[in-house]
Structure 1
């Protein structure tokens, strides 16, 4: 699943992904027009994706994220903010952060501590092709929290990016 989510994350940062209208056309492998027959599965679905394994003994988590380039993914998120391609929003107040506030945020929460992403999406199913189309509404960055013995306590919502 992570293999299929990483490209979605990168596409979110580079281009807008959109659910297509039921009347839009697509082409099949032979370049014949195929009418889409989209059925709404979820107008809003929210789910977490682990991008860093906090437990080195958990082999299953390692297997699920073995193809995730954590550094590249996180660096691209911050680059999109610093180049003003995206705006970071406070999770609790929904107010936009300034670039200076994100820099201050990074001082308290280093990039290496980002352990999860949370996606808010729209899912549609194409009955003609069997494909699922997804539109990413937002991506939330969450930081791994540890107790004084360095045991994982959970995750803290950092900021989120809207796909506007």
Structure 2
């Protein structure tokens, strides 16, 4: 019986240890520390490879899947959880304007790049760079007469922190 209790106790501690070692994938209410070195920085990132013959881009994007991100943002703007703004004149889009952009662009299948507006924080003590994405804009693919990606057209901008101007 003493041996049985020892094994059960060891299993319980092992289980607690394994659970405590799991990493959390999400961070809520993260405080950013360090010196703000970019406010803002704006740049675009390719999220799909427009040229299947470009092995380097294929390798770089092999583990990229933005489908859930695009779907979640579209749902949030449709539900009114995130405001969507026109890329060109920054007016807040009405639901009909938004639906027209979504329908014409086929964002779920043709998002090829994302433009980010971020704040960057440099922590010299930790030698770490932290980024806070403030705004995002999906660029959807436009094609030439031969069906090759010619470039990207802006869809709409979402402000992820509308109350922190």
- Give the TM-score normalised by the residue count of structure 1: 0.74
Greater fraction helix: 2
For 1:106 and 1:70, how far apart are their aligned partners in 2? Answer: 16
Residue in structure 2 matched with residue 158 of structure 1 by the alignment = 155
Q: Secondary structure at the match of 1:60?
A: helix
2:94 is the counterpart of 1:98:
yes
| 2:100 match: secondary structure | helix
SS in structure 1 opposite 2:75?
Answer: helix
Instruction: Choose which of 140, 143, 151 in structure 2 pairs with 1:143.
Output: 140
The structure number with the bigger radius of gyration is 2
Task: Show structure 1 runs of 5+ residues with no match.
Answer: 1-9, 21-37
| Unaligned 5+ runs, structure 2 | 1-24
Task: Provide TM-score, normalisation by structure 2.
Answer: 0.74
Partner of 2:103: 107
**Of 21, 40, 44, which aligns to 1:44?**
40
- Tell me which moved more, 59-68 or 139-148: 59-68
| CA drift at 1:57 | 1.1
Distance 1:95 1:18, change over 3 A: farther
Q: How many residues align?
A: 136
2:113 to 111, 116, 122: 116
C-alpha separation between the residues in 1 aligned to 2:105 and 2:159?
21
